[in-house]
Every structure is written in C-alpha cells, then in structure tokens.
Structure 1
Amino acid sequence: MSETSSTQRCVIVIPARYASTRLPGKPLADILGKPMIQHVYERAQQVQNVDVVVVATDDARVMAAVEAFGGQAVMTSAEHSSGTDRLVEVMQRFPAAIYINLQGDEPLVRAADVQRLVDGMRQQPEIRVGTLCHPVGAREAQNPNCVKVVLDAGGRALYFSRAPIPFPRDGERARYLKHVGVYGYRAEVLAQYSALDKSMPEQAEVLEQLRLMHAGISIYAFEVEPTGPGVDTPACLEQVRRLLSGETAEEARLDKVKLVITDVDGVLTDGSIYYDATGECLKRFHVRDGLGIRMLEEAGIRVAVLSGRDSATLRKRIADLGISASRLGVKDKAEACRALMAECGALPHETVCTGDDSIDLPAFRTCGLSFAVADAPDYVKRQASGVLTLPGGHGAFRELSDRILEAKGLVHIATTADGFERSMTTVAQ
C-alpha cells in the first residue's frame, strides 16, 4: 500500500456483519486455522497502490479478531441494511476518491481481480461505479443465488438479475455472465447513495445495485476468469475449506475439459459378461451413453475408450460410435491415459476419466478430473473428484456428458430440437 494524490486515493472497505441468518458468526468461521475475515483481509493487502484496507463491522467480536491478527477495523452502526450503507459511514472517516467494497465472505477473491478494478477506475475517470463478472455455464445460470449481468458493447451493465439472462427463446446458445460482488465507487456516488430511492426492480430481485441503475448511474463490469465460491451457507464453507486445502472443485473445471477417457466394463456396460456358443464375449451397452459420446465429439470434445479387455465385440462398438482414440487390453492405465492425452492434444487438467473399480484408480490419479459411477465401491468413490448418480451401463456416461455440455454452455445440444439438429452431423447410439 502507498500514499497517492487525493484524486487517486483508494480505500478498500470489507463489510463484515456478524449476524448472518444462514451462517451466524460467518466472519469468524475457521478456515485452515484463520478466521474467514483474515483470509479476505490478507488478499486485499496484496492489491498494489491502495492507501487503506479496513474492516467495517457491527460486532465487537469481529473487531477484536481483526485487531488480533494485526488488521485495521472500525465499528459501524448495526442499523445498516446493506454493505454499501456501511461503506458510506466508513467514508466519513477515511477520505478518498475511490472506495472498493470487498465482501467479507469472499475468502477466495483474487487480488489480481481487485487490482484490475482499481486500475480500471483510475485509468477511466468516466467510470463512476465498477464491478466484476465472469462467464458461467447454463446449469449454474439457473441458480437464483448466482446473479447474472448482461453488458452493452462498451462493458456497461444493462441489467442484473437472479433469472437466467439473456433467455435463449429459440434454443440458441446464450452466454451467461455471473456478477462478482466486488464494487468500486467514486466518492461522489457514495455520498448520494443513501438518498436514492429503492426501486421496484431492486425490491423484487433484492439486488441493491439496481438502485444505482434506476437512478441513471451506469455500472461498468470488468470481465475476469471464473472465481471460487463465496460463503453463504455451511455447505459453501466446507467447499471453500476443501479448495483452500488444495482439493479440486469439479464444477469450476468441467468447462475446460477437452478429453473424456472412459472405462468400458462397469461404466459403458453394467459389468455383466456373456459368451455365445462360439466363445465370443458379449456385453450390453446403453444407447443413451452412445448418444452422449457422439454429442461430446460433435461439440469438439474428444472421447477415448480405455479398457483392460479386448474383444471383437468391443472393437465393433467403438467403430459404431466413431471413436478414433482407444487403448484396449492395457495393464497400465496411467500410462495409457498419458498416451491418450498426447494423442488427443489434451493436458491433464483438460482431461476427465470415468471408472468403477480399483483398476481405474491409477487413471483417476493421472487425469485432472475423475468420476466414479454410482455403484462403484465406496473406496473408489472417495478417490474420485465426483460421483455420478447413475450406475454403470444405465446412462452414467450420458449423465457426465450432459454435465460437461452444461458447464461449457452447450446444453442446447442435448435439450433442444434446434440445437441438436444444428450440432449433430452424425448420429449414433
């Protein structure tokens, strides 16, 4: 942090209310030995050319916790209805030109993203209010807790909503942007905020930024890479703990998948093996899995088959589905996965594999993401990134296919007639 001219002076304010309805005492929730508010504060301190970082709270326990780790905090009124109102009170104590409102329940916030907001507002004085956003898939866009924003050609917000906007009426692919609740305000905007009337859209959506837009104040959104989740509920808190401890978040990475490696017995089949009178091995495949494979391939996502067995039946099924990448009769599945990644031009973090038993664990460890089918042993499920809800041979692969298409914003391929017809040049089940 450094001293700057009065016209460029910047203060980061972290509102931290103790009495959260869904997670009481949220700012003090322990995450890897530190209160959550400390994680946010330390990330704020990494932002360059900021003059002050201060926590604004209404509770002495939060104040004491911040002071205990060496941070700066101020007590504010308990009557404030929003974090922005709390920011207005802090403004009287710390004069500045720009105020950044950084939520106290965002321990995964990236300093680089906040830096982009600070620098952008300094470089573009016409921006009176700035914020952040990033792309999300269609499935996440359906969640009303995920606030979406639509921008004009200049990056200004047209509207914020809990509904999935824009709405793809004719099944066309929509690009959804999730609003990240970090704001930058010019001092003069904050000074008039409390006098602004609550608009009907703000009250309907329960989104305070709509108050500014209703008053004719533009909000500029800087697009960043997808961020980690905030903490709203106990489940969110556990997810953040896992992420900060180094575990992988499935939904944050499915949109980056370029290659899917699937086992056969127990995943594409139910694991049953039959022999005809000639001794030929017979297997039962599920047609929906086959269509899931084709939809991924037509969307530009390679699918490769990996099996410890080899048979004429299996080779015929692979040929019917048009799969060009496979390794059959392999003993070392980890090495086979590495070879398939090289062949398909995918890195480990761009690769997901599916399996159902111990023989697949080396592949799980080699690929960036792994999924166990619903009827896999518990010890296999525990070592997978995620667990599917369907058993092998009963549509489990199709379930994974749909998840990937959703994460990439391509779910229209599976869910609409127009999307399917436009995307599928060849159809096989």
Structure 2
Amino acid sequence: MDLQQWLERIEHQHPKSIDMGLERLRDVAERMGMGRPARFVATVAGSNGKGSTVAFIEAIAAASGLRVGAYTSPHLLAYNERVRIDGVDADDASLVAAFEAVEVARGTTMLTYFEYGTLAALWLFERAGLDLAVLEVGLGGRLDAVNLVDPDVAVITTVDLDHQDWLGGDREAIGAEKAGIARAWKPLVLGEDDPPSSVLGHAYAIGASAIRAGSDYRFGRDDGCEGWWWREPGFELSLPLPGLAAPAQLRNAAAAIAALRALDLEIDDGAWARGVAAARVPGRLQRFERGGVEILVDVGHNPQAARALAEWLLTAPAARTVAVYGALVDKDAVGVVEAIASYVDAWHLAGTEAAGSRGRDADALAQALAGTAAAGAARHGDVATALAAAAVAARPGGRVLAFGSFHVAAAALAWLAAGDSEAGAGGAV
C-alpha cells in the first residue's frame, strides 16, 4: 500500500476517533521492542501555543547542530508534516515502513489514527539517532498517546477551556489532565504566570521541578528596542524578535528556551538567537498578499487564541479587516467572535463539513452566532468561496483574516496555493 492507502486504512481501523488510554499502546510498543526515541525527550502540552513552542525548541536545538525530531498534529496540507527529522518532513516511504512495523506488532489490538501515527513517529525517531525528540500532545496530556514516553522535560504552554467533553469543565480539571505529562523529579516548564493550582499541586505531589514564567524565568521587550530579553538568575539573553508574528510568540519562545535550559544539552551562544528568528509554523498568522489585499491565515480556534489574534490586530491596524470564520461543532464560536469582534469590520462564515462529523455548516454557525457581532454575516458553503468573496469585500489596502480551525487554515492555504499555481507566482510575504 502507498501512504494514502495506509492513512485511509488506519483512519477506519478503530471504531472510535478518540479512545484515550495508554495500555493498548504500551502493549504494542513492547511488542515492537520500542526504546527511547532520542537521547533527550521534550513533551509539550497546552490549550494554545503547542505547535509554536515545539518549533522554537526544534529550531534552537537545530541551530546548535543537534539532531532533532519533532512530532506534531494535526497537519495542514500533508500527513508528512507531522513527523520531521532535522527539519525535513518524513517522506512517504519512511512513513509506510513505520506503519508496516506497527501493523505487524499490533496483532488484533485496535489503534486509533493518532495512536498509530504516534507509534510510527517514535519508531522512526528511534532509528534516526536523535539528540532530541520534541513531542506535541494531541489532546490533554495524561492519557494522550505521546505520554507513552517519559520526557526529560515537560512543557505546559497555557490552560484554557477547550475539549471540555474530554478534559473537564473548568481550568482546574483541564490543568490536571495536562499536568499528567510531568514526571517525578523532572523539570516542568509552565508558560503561564498564573497556572491552575491543579498543575502546581500535581508537580508538588510527584516532586517535579516547576519552572514558572514570571518567577523562575522572565522575558520582555525594552522600549525602543527591536528585540527582547530572556533571563533567569545568573543567565540572560538578548534576542531578535521571532519570525512568528503574534505577541504571544514571545511567551512561546520563552517557554522553549526554559525547556532547553532545563536539559543537559550543549546549546552554543548564538543558537538561541538564530533559532528564535528561524522558527516557522504554517498557519500561525501566516501572511500573504493578493491584489493589494493582505491575507492572514491562522489556526486559532478557541477564545484564548482569538484574544491573542485581537492583541496582534490592535498593534497592526488596517484600512479594513474582513474575517473568514469557520468552526467545528464542539468549539465556543460565540466566545471566539466576542474576543475579536472589535477589530473586525465584516464577517464571512464558511462551512466546515469537510471536517466530517465535527464539521458545521455556515447556516448552523450563523444560528449559533445570532446574538453576536457576526449576526447577519455572509454565509458560504466552503472556505474557498468565502475567501474569494472576502478578498473583494476587503478592497485594496484592506485585510482578510481566515481563522477558526485547522480545517479553515488548511483550506485557505490550498486556495492560496491554487491561486499561485494559476498565476505562476506568489507565496507568503
């Protein structure tokens, strides 16, 4: 089977898309003879900022000449994006070989799509001779597939209300699930100044060493300076602004630095700055220009992410901002719109039925948003149609912001790529 056939097979191999727990996974890993995926492992959880934090860790370590693997999810345009070794996406043949190894070992054990992919990534990492593997949690932390591996450092970027059906109804419950990635007597980096008490309580109970933003490490910008600083007692860095644009990226980069500082790795002095400047993640305020209209693509899908987008929009005003918004059925669409409405001049709602059972059509989304600033918004069957209409409505000098889910971001990038292909030019600015 080729890669696409394998992906179709593993998508339907388990009757549930999510089946949280580690016992089945642990049994299959043992039958595979699975060892450590790298000399050091960093695991990253959080409601927002996980992918960016992974990218900063990966880029800084790579800039210091270390061999690094990164496992992230979901992907935007191709599954290969989920598994990177030395900054290069895994090729089809490598992924097929890894899936074949999992298939032989699993016997009659049923695995979800994410569990299958996690074992495949770990199998590839183990064979690559890595110095560092960076693993992004898919959902929660305690029962997530990547928690199969004991990390040398754990990172929790933020804790906010998301995936409440699975993780609990408040920040304390969700924080407790995310804190499950911490290990006894190992460092736990916390990206928030004020994390839930459940996170701190768990760290204390198991003897994990909590490294807290605003306390054990600090960061900030100096007035009039085209850069920023990061410091801990006895150590300070002067750094360029990240290539990733949103103000929240300083916090993500700071947590990444704290994670690497907590490991027994040699990072050369210049690698901190080179890595911070070089880190890139598709779909994080990714900027394009089409016919004099700025088009921004972002995967933000919950109120916390929308507040971060609003913070950036406040610092970068445009003549007119038109939003293309699409949401899954289990997301707080009202909270998202309310968080960013002050910075949007017009709304276009896009259907996300392509996401499957979690998708929501534009009419249903409009009904949910009836009492918000997006009431009466134009409705479109898909993201491509919404983007085409929004680009006209924004007018030259204006801006289109496409956001709301990974599915919206992926469809927007595909639409932009198709336009580039037809024009024979283009790309991100």
Q: TM-score, normalised by structure 1?
A: 0.25
Q: Which structure is higher in helix share?
A: 2
The structure that has the greater radius of gyration is 1
Q: TM-score, normalised by structure 2?
A: 0.25
